Structure 1
Amino acid sequence: MMTGGRVKLNGWQQAAVAVGSAVGALLDPRRADLIAALGETTGKPAFERVLERMKRSPEGRAVLLERPRVISANVGHAWDLPPNTFGAAYAKFMGSRNFSPDDRPPVRFMETEEIAYVAARAREVHDFWHTLFDLPTNLIGESALKVIEFEQMLLPMCALSVAGGTARFSQSQRSLFYQHYFPWALRSGVKCTDLMCLYYERHFDEDLEDVRRRWGIIPAPPPPLRAA
């Protein structure tokens, strides 16, 4: 479900949830529910800006009108598409990690259905972005994608996640991230199209490299041999 019974918070409650979620997420970065709560309680202005951009984009408006959900019932056909397609690449990404599109936590702290949907959409297209940018789901890969997400949406949670994630890096991981992945992510997040205005599901049957070129996607470069 997109919403798990929305909760209306006053200013103090919102701040308390944000602080508690931030601390909890720093202690355990695997807590997707805490990261989601942090994104919602700190991200309303960013989601409102994304909503306005989507309204100005023909494809973004189609997404808002139809409100597609990235759930198994809607994307399961990707597993049957030719191997060169975007949809097949997404299916391979999900299947190789035993991920399910149904595992995303619901949106709870957005005030309106429209903003709640934008927040849910941002959460649900995360794995599409992993596929397009060819990023792994390890700590370095997630941190690099958070840089791109911040550039695309200006969500405070993304910046906090990068800071929290890199604090857990070893010295070699930190050097690899800041010398190799961080500069690439900065360039890629600026160069590509507005990723929240894309109706990804309509492009599943298209060639992966074609959609990357059309959307200005620069896949992550392989790490240096010494870091492999």
Structure 2
Amino acid sequence: MTGSALIKLRPWQQAAVAVGSAMGALFDPRRADLIAALGETTGKPAFERVLERMKRSPEGRAVLLERPRVISANVGHAWDLPENTFGAAYARFMGSRNFSPDDRPPVRFMDTDELAYVAMRAREVHDFWHTLFGLPTNLIGESALKVIEFEQMHLPMCLLSVVGGTSRFNQKQRSLFFQHYFPWAVKAGFQCTDLMCVFYEQHFHEDLEDVQRKWGIIPAPVAPK
């Protein structure tokens, strides 16, 4: 389901991969594979809690049962949906940045297929969250979304990413982030529904503003000029 064979690590191996991935990602934040490995090796308890919440939610259970994958073959129809829909907004987000849903690295360091799917799902819905919250993919936007992801999943990697991202801000970016985006992200991540329990693909045809209201989404603030 995750696209590759799982590698079960002993605790010392897990720690070694986590430290190596953290150091590598610090030197080159564009290395998605290192960031993914860091998230997996430090996030198992958090993913276990997400899995239990999904099992308690009717929609979350449906996701676990069907195990949808956010890949081109499954979400390509979003490009043909009416302009006002959530699916069309997602298609615009991806198309305007020349992103492909097929570019996510596979999950490797999880103990079970079920946990591996949850980790993969968290990785693949990232762009849905960008669309719903109206966040750009620049350093500020990604850091703000990591705050929301931490509020939702309590993954250590999200917190580390915020620290790493904000350390690369210039003074203007730092002021903008902490005055406007950070307090909004804390509130937005806390107030919205449990986003890992949403079967997004079944809501592509619905109006974007309707699903934002239904899921308690507070769109990102407009940055002051």
TM bucket (normalised to shorter chain) is over 0.9
Distance 1:29 1:219 in 2: 26
Tell me if structure 2 keeps the 8 A contact 1:60–1:196.
yes
Match of 1:117 in 2: 117
Q: Which amino acid aligns with 1:103?
A: D
Tell me if structure 2 keeps the 8 A contact 1:3–1:116.
no
Superposed CA offset, 1:150-175 (max 9, x none): 00000000000000010011011111
More displaced 10-residue stretch of structure 1: 19-28 or 98-107: 19-28
Unmatched 5+ stretches in structure 1: none
Superposed CA offset, 1:102-149 (max 9, x none): 000000000100000000000000000000000000010000000000
Match of 2:169 in 1: 169
Match of 1:70 in 2: 70
Distance 1:186 1:73 in 2: 34
Tell me if structure 2 keeps the 8 A contact 1:18–1:37.
yes
Q: Which amino acid aligns with 1:66?
A: E
Tell me if structure 2 keeps the 8 A contact 1:90–1:131.
yes
Runs of 4+ in 1 over 3 A off after TM superposition: none
Distance 1:24 1:4 in 2: 22
Unmatched 5+ stretches in structure 2: none
Q: Which amino acid aligns with 1:182?
A: F
Identical amino acids, percent of aligned pairs: 83
- The structural deviation recorded for 1:3 is 3.6
User: TM-score with structure 2 length normalisation?
Assistant: 0.99
Distance 2:155 2:135 in 1: 20
User: TM-score with structure 1 length normalisation?
Assistant: 0.98
Distance 2:42 2:114 in 1: 17
Q: Which amino acid aligns with 2:51?
A: L
Q: Which amino acid aligns with 1:195?
A: L
Distance 1:69 1:172 in 2: 38
Count of aligned pairs between the two proteins: 225
State the superposition RMSD in angstroms. 0.7
